[in-house]
A and B are shown apart, each in its own frame.
Chain A
């Protein structure tokens, strides 16, 4: 800032240097804040994972080496949580992408009442996850839920289903609620990509006699692939760390517990900070690995191309 009023001696060089200093000056508050609320807590969590710390007194701990990780590797409940998380992530993201694409294509078609439909699609997105989980828990209630009432009324089932009690059904229910909540996000990203597609391409394809299905697979899909990929990356990483929807719908039940639910139960309910931190650290490295893979494969642009110098 002090240099701002001084006449520039060598305009090109000193201006660039000043701007570099300005950049770091403007970044400093953010970087300090991120170091305090993200970097430091992460390092502390990793450090805790090598100790036997308890929540009641975090200062009293002993170094236990890799013991927590060894116990973790032997806990069938942990592996169940890993399996649940993988199933949840793969199934829910696939369904969200598919459904999101269908909704986006529908919204992109020029039909009357498009604004109304787009507004309706935004509703699940606007509802807090905890609230949507409660709404669905009520609809899926085994005794008084509307889902069972409708299925019984149509004669599709003979007796009420325990949607949130049965091990297989409850994982499916958790996935269904997540799909309902998150599909709009995918749909909106896909729609934004659809709306900037060049129309000439479609006209020439139609002149060449290509049918709608051919057009979709050889023009539309390749062109919106980058946007879909971004949506899949965001959704996939969200799904790997899922907590809210599962905790509210089925609590800590082993049939649905994700890695986050498992780690929090150890950390907070059993007060076992060392062991819980080991589970949390494992999840962190899984997410980090997947992020690195996806960023490399998806070649996410970090803005190198289009900034003013």
Chain B
């Protein structure tokens, strides 16, 4: 059938396909493009639907950093996401070794428990977590956020690293055991170097998870100096509720998103492998 199709039909199919590709490109890219364009407009230009910012200016970017502690906010987010990720990776590497390489009674139950924690609605632990954070004297502090973010990053990193570690060949381990290597040596001397790319992918995804978190950061911080990026952007306000400074909101959005997009595009292969390792092989 397909071999004898009319050339006109084939051209039409190809055209339709190109249109589909163009539509997908437009759909995924335009909203971000529009945010960039809007962030470069100022004054009344912002309220015109011009696709190109004819009088491009960085005024909105200057205002964001001048009007509020936005640089401080970015540092807060970096610190919180990095600490939560580092702590999680450490605990997850140990746990993933046990879960992927050792057969023991209760393993399925532990895996199920970890999976369930990653399904917890954040709101279901909010009041308990609030009490815990306040009880430890960590309310309105970055340490409180690091602690609470573990509920997101721990199950995720453990799950993905378990999937990655399961892929390592058994022979590698058997040879080491015959040589009398302890599990500790096998994990840190043999496995971890091999897992470096997987650790990077998992770490990046966990970092993004923590960087994007909103509910805990909104609830457990109070002063603008302790805010993280999502909270700061959500709470940017103007002179009144009806005069949101959209140019500044877009400038802040682009500032925090551009590095993320660049990072994701550079590491896209690893990210896809990390995402699918957790889901498909899991």
Contacts and interface: CB of A to CB of B under 8 A. Distances in A.
Interface of A: 1, 4, 15, 19-20, 22-24, 26-27, 29-31, 33-34, 36-38, 40-45, 48, 53, 55, 58, 102-103, 106, 109, 111, 113, 117-132, 134-136, 138-139, 141, 143-144, 146, 149-150, 153, 180, 184-185, 188-189, 191-193, 206, 209, 211-212, 226-227, 230-231, 234, 237, 240-241, 243-244, 247-248, 259-260, 263-264, 267-268, 273, 276-277, 280-281, 283-284, 287-288, 291, 295, 300-304, 306-309
Interface in B1-51: 1-2, 17, 20-21, 24-25, 27-29, 31-32, 34-35, 38, 46-47, 49
A280 B28 contact: no
Nearest to B273: A192
Interface stretch (B60-68, B127-135, B192-200): B127-135
Given A118-B268, A192-B280, A209-B1, A34 B28 contact: no
Contacts of A212: 2
Contacts of A149: 49
A284 B104 contact: no
Contact of B98 (A4, A22, A128, A134): A22
B282 A301 contact: yes
B249 A45 contact: no
B143 interface: no
Given A26-B183, A37-B150, A124 B28 contact: yes
B126 A27 contact: no
Contact of A27 (B38, B101, B110): B110
A303 B32 contact: no
B250 interface: yes
Interface in B256-273: 256-257, 260-261, 263-265, 268, 271-272
Contacts of B122: 241, 243, 260
B272 A192 contact: yes
Contact of A38 (B28, B151, B256): B151
B257 A189 contact: no
Interface string B211-235: 1101100010000000001110110
Given A26-B94, A121-B24, A211 B125 contact: no
Contact of A126 (B124, B246, B260): B260
A130 B214 contact: yes
A282 to B, nearest CB: 9
B253 interface: yes
B268 A129 contact: no
By Cβ-Cβ distance, the 9 closest A-B pairs, closest first, are A41-B128, A44-B128, A241-B121, A284-B124, A149-B49, A130-B230, A41-B125, A30-B95, A23-B98
Contacts of B28: 120-121, 123-124, 180, 184
Contacts of A141: 246
A126 B261 contact: yes
B73 interface: no
Contacts of A1: 182, 184
Contacts of B117: 34, 38
Contacts of A4: 182
B254 to A, nearest CB: 9
B147 to A, nearest CB: 6
B38 A23 contact: no
B169 to A, nearest CB: 9
Interface residues of B, number: 103
A153 to B, nearest CB: 8
Contacts of A15: 177
Nearest to B90: A29
Given A27-B95, A30-B92, A304-B108, A45 B127 contact: yes
Given A44-B128, A227-B279, A127 B260 contact: yes
Contacts of B1: 209, 211
A288 B129 CA distance: 19
B253 A19 contact: no
Contacts of A33: 91, 150, 154
A273 B219 CA distance: 13
Nearest to B212: A128
A67 to B, nearest CB: 16
Contacts of A192: 272, 276, 280
A26 B98 contact: yes
B91 A307 contact: no
A44 B131 contact: yes
Contact of B219 (A48, A127, A143, A264): A264
Contacts of B239: none
A58 B134 CA distance: 10
A30 B108 contact: no
B102 interface: yes
B173 A308 contact: yes
A237 B57 CA distance: 42
A52 to B, nearest CB: 13
